[in-house]
Structures are given as structure tokens and as C-alpha cells.
Structure 1
Amino acid sequence: MKKKIIIFGSGAHSKVVFSEIIKLKTYNFLGFVDSLSPKGQKVISYKKKTFFNLGSIEEVIKKKNKYGKFSGIIGIGLNHLRKKIVNDVFKLDKTFKWETIVSKDCILNGNVTIEEGSLIMSGVTINTETVIGKHCIVNTSSSIDHDNKFKNFSSCGPGVITGGNVKLGDSSHLGIGSIVEQGIEIGKNTVVGGNSFVNKKCEDNKLYFGVPIKKIRSRKISENYLK
């Protein structure tokens, strides 16, 4: 029997998450949940079926009996917003079940751990002994080598390459096409700009960019780093 699932968020990234869920053919998709968009708004159509915004987080979680038992995944790219949604849902339902979505078109080599709520996209390769924490995103065609540790709510853009033994801190982001040398540690709430080469340790709450990287400035957790 297929499990029922919803996606939190209804923007562009949520539609990519939807496409990965549909490919798996193991879920009955109910719709999107977005507190910032009108209830009933069309989000996407697929094979003559249209999916809508079911309403706000509070509406859907409080009326979950209407839909039967369901789980969820967050379709939002910004790390701090995924963390906020998890906290908002937890306040309403401490037992809510988060799904882990692993694309059928990715490669997991050996002993790879992917924790709840995380999303692994098409074309990704993750090598053995790597641990991807809770509510992370490993984006399209990225290559994550052995013994990496992505902490909770961290993410990487498409085409990122990491060497072995890389540590990515809580809520940190590696921009599109960036490369991280082996053994590098990146602090929490830090962003590495796209197409950068990371060859040294990165501090917490900072923005880095360049080939090789340079520390640009401090950053706030809530700053938008995705366009």
C-alpha cells in the first residue's frame, strides 16, 4: 500500500521534489502545504491531474484526520526556512513523520546514512561512510566522497564536488558548482558562493567566495543566499 505524503512549500524547488516523489512510485501524493500562498491555489499538473495548496501548516496538521495518516518532506531550498517549518510542525504534532526522499537516479556506494527529512536528487553520487543529517539537500549531479558529514539542515547546490572527510556544519550551504578539498571543515550557518574552491577551514556564520575562497563578511542566519 502506498504511503500518503505532502510537500511543505509550493515554490520552484517544491516542484523538483514532487518530480522525485512521483518517480519513486511508492507514495500517494496529496498536495502542497504553504502558509504564504492562497488555499486551493494550483501548484502543478501531472498526467492530467492537478495538485493544489492544501492550506497553511496549522490547517493541514490540525485537520490531518481529513486526509488520513500522512508524512511529509520540505520542498524549500533555504536552510533556515526548513528549520523553521520543522519547528512549526513540531509545536502542532510532536509525532509527525518526516520522509527521506532518495532519487531512483542517484548512486549510494557502500555504507551511506541519510537521516529523516533529507532529499537526495537525481545524478548524485555519495560514497561510503558518509552521513547526511536531518532535513538536508544534496542537489542535482553533486559528488559527495567518502566519510563526509553533512550536519542537520545543511545543503549543497547542483554540481558540487567534495573530497573525502569533509564536514559541513549545521545550516550551511555549498553553492552551485563549488569544490571542497578533502579534510576541510566548514562551520555552521556558513555559505560558500557558487563555483568556489574551498581549500581551508571555514568559520561559523560567514560568507566565503572565490578560487581559492576568501572570507567576504559575516552573515545572519536568516539571510537569503538563493535567488
Structure 2
Amino acid sequence: MEKVIIIGAGGHGRVVIDAALSNSQLEIIGFLDDGEVEVILGIVKLGKILDIEKFKKYKFHIAIGNNNFRERLSNEIGVESLITIVHSTAYISRDSEIGRGCYIGAGSIINSKSKLGNNVIVNTGSIIEHDCVLEDCSHLSYRVLLGSGTIIKETVYIEMGEIIKREEIIERV
């Protein structure tokens, strides 16, 4: 069983903790956050985000929606210390590749030969069709549909409900 500490206790952090609890291969040790929340679904706050150094023997999942902040924390922690969390109702094709530190939300679908970099967020009900690429620290809000062959560049955020047509390349503006 993999022991993990969640970083972040905002809305996305609560969703990630709930998803992690649906995975029998994970043991959540607690969470780190700079806010006032002390307990989420029975999981207790261990300290502030700056306290990461005290917990280096554990794996981490950065449950923060802000792509640039997530990228910065990932660089600080080191990608080898990150763990991907997949909700039990998500579907991931056997021939897709998922990087470290990703979150795959409830009801999401990742189809054949798609590739996710590190620290990618695929929120609730999003569909990634075949042969898509989501680069590091990109973020799909809920119910996003990516047509086949789409490329989402590093740190790009796609808003909820958006439909991206086939073979588009979406870059930061």
C-alpha cells in the first residue's frame, strides 16, 4: 500500500481526497494546506505547505488547480516523489501513458494511445479521445471533450464544458 500526503485542501483538494479514498492501494497519511481546514473526510491536516520537508519519506499528490503553482511545487518536491490518483470510476485505455502526479477524476475516459505528462488534471467526466497529448501541468476542467489527436501544451487550462476539435494544438496565449 502506497502512503501519500495530499497537498491542498481547497475544492480540488477535497475532490482528490475523496477519489483517493476510493482507491484501496493508497493510504492517505494526511494533507498539507495553508488554510484553516483541519479535517476532510476524516483525513487530518499535518501542517502548512512549507512543511513538505518534514515528510520527505512519503509520496505526495499536489491537489492544487493552479497550473503554475502546481508546476513550481512539483519542481521543488521532485517528480519521482509524486503519485497519480485515479478515481475508481475512471477508464484509462491499456495503451495510454499516464505521467506522475496526475489526477484522473470520476467518470473520465482516456482512450487508446493518449499520453498525459506529469501533474496533469483530468477533472470529472472529461473525455480524452485516442492519440491525444496533454503536456506537463495542463488541466482539463470538468466535462471537457478532446477530439482525437489533440495536443494540449504545458500549463494550459481548458475551461469546463469546452469541446476541442480533432487535431487542434492548444497553446498558452
**TM-score range for the pair, normalised by the shorter chain length:** over 0.9
Larger radius of gyration: 1
SS, match of residue 22 in structure 2: helix
User: Which of 52, 55, 58 is the matching residue for 1:64?
Assistant: 55
**1:118-133 superposed matches below 5 A:** 118-133=102-117
Cα offset, 1:52, TM superposition:
2.5
1:43 and 1:13 mapped to 2: Cα distance?
15
C-alpha RMSD of matched pairs (Å): 1.7
Cα offset, 1:37, TM superposition:
2.8
User: Which stretches in structure 1 are left out of the alignment for 5+ residues?
Assistant: 191-204, 206-227
The aligned counterpart of 1:42 is 38
Relative contact order higher in (CA < 8 Å, ≥ 6 apart): 2
Cα offset, 1:96, TM superposition:
5.3
Does the aligned pair in 1 maintain the 2:80–2:100 contact within 8 Å?
A: no
The aligned counterpart of 2:27 is 28
Q: Deviations along 1:64-89, whole A, 9 cap, x unmatched?
A: 37xxx310101111111101211333
The aligned counterpart of 2:16 is 17
1:161 and 1:80 mapped to 2: Cα distance?
23
1:143 and 1:181 mapped to 2: Cα distance?
12
2:121 and 2:55 mapped to 1: Cα distance?
26
Does residue 1:186 correspond to 2:173, yes or no?
Answer: no
The aligned counterpart of 2:71 is 83
Q: TM-score, normalised by structure 2?
A: 0.92
Does residue 1:157 correspond to 2:148, yes or no?
Answer: no
Aligned pairs, number: 173
User: Which stretches in structure 2 are left out of the alignment for 5+ residues?
Assistant: none
Give the AA of the match of 1:76: I
Does the aligned pair in 2 maintain the 1:163–1:183 contact within 8 Å?
A: yes
The aligned counterpart of 1:218 is none
1:19 and 1:152 mapped to 2: Cα distance?
23
